[in-house]
Amino acid sequence: MATLQRPPLRGHGRVTGLVSGILAASLLLVSCDGEPDASPQTGGLLIVSGELGAVELVVRDSHDPTGRVVELPDPATSWVSAGRANVLMTTLIDGRTFVSDPLDDDVDPGWRPVEAVGVDDRPVEGPLYFGAWDPAGGAFVLLGSDFGEGSGLRIVVVDPALEGASEAAFPDTTAAAAAPTWVDDDRVAVVVASAGGPSTLLVDTATGDAAPGPTDVTLVATSADALMTAVWRGDGPVEVLATEAWLTGDPATIRLDPPDGASRPGGFALDATGSRLAIVWLDASDAPLAVAVHERARDWSQTTRIGLDGAAVALVAWLR
């Protein structure tokens, strides 16, 4: 049972070693070797890469399709997500949250810390990790947990313009070290541990209510409009299907198998409308092997492959 600790802002319409390990896993998504790929299939791709605690952000857009470095609020950035007007949200290894000015041309954006106010007009307790903007792109959800067994989970939705937050707490839940994702205007899917293996919890951010979601889920991501879903079940291919179909248990007809030399996906991201999917494939030692971009317009065939060489930590996201 959730405890809603503040009337919702949205109407309808860690131990250092543990945290470092969690964030290394979350960042192990993509890093490029050789020359950047300038193809339009990667336009809007965000890549954060480097060493844990010392990363940089490269943006590929119409202004510089080969990629340009954009200043981050801190080299210890561990997650990034893009909202409306290409305002970026980042979380840091220490659990702090920052938002940027709108991304524009070759000018580095300004950044400001978000110190959201929750219950009794007090700052929401940190640290908070991962993060995903809602479909409207004006608020984002964060996870509060140390990701230990039975250590509890908090779902925190932040409106950065108002610096206010709503919070739902699930004290006995074991959260997985994976980003939450929106499945409609109000609900988020969070990967959690259960007796039968990893599954999801669907949390209504407007009410604080929660219900069991799809099971057999290790990684899941939705498009910014929440209409398409990519899911990996802990073995085999990455599946792509409509979010409604995933929620109702319909089988996926799109299955993207690991390429030669790959063992499993380290992560993936759908673009704003679910038309492109970037998958990071890991080798048998869990080292990044390559990132592949697949396009719906080409029957989800791979249209871009970026080889990885000696990548340490990285993540990938898309502009809207």
pLDDT at 6: 39
pLDDT at 205: 95
Q: Would the pLDDT of 19 be above 70?
A: no
Asked if 268 contacts 240 with a C-beta cutoff of 8 angstroms, the reply is: no
Please name the residue ranges forming H helices in the chain. Answer: 16-27, 243-247
Radius of gyration of the chain (CA): 18
Distances from the Cα of 242 to the Cαs of 188, 222, 277, in angstroms?
15, 9, 13
pLDDT at 144: 96
Calculate ∠ Cα 188-123-133, nearest 5°: 30
Q: Look up residue 197 and give its amino acid.
A: G
85-106: per-residue pLDDT in tens?
999 999 999 999 999 999 987 7
3-class state of residue 22 by DSSP: helix
CB proximity list for 5: less than 8 A, separation 6 or greater: 118, 119, 166, 167, 168, 169
pTM for the model = 0.88
The string of DSSP letters for 217-232 reads -SEEEE-TTS-EEEEE
Q: Domains of the chain by range and CATH?
A: 3-313 (2.120.10.30)
Distances from the Cα of 173 to the Cαs of 9, 54, 139, 215, 231, in angstroms?
24, 32, 24, 15, 21
129-182: per-residue pLDDT in tens?
999 999 999 999 999 999 988 889 999 999 999 989 999 999 989 999 999 999
218-262: per-residue pLDDT in tens?
999 999 999 999 999 999 999 999 999 999 999 999 999 999 999
Nearest to 75, CA basis, from 27, 38, 142, 126: 27
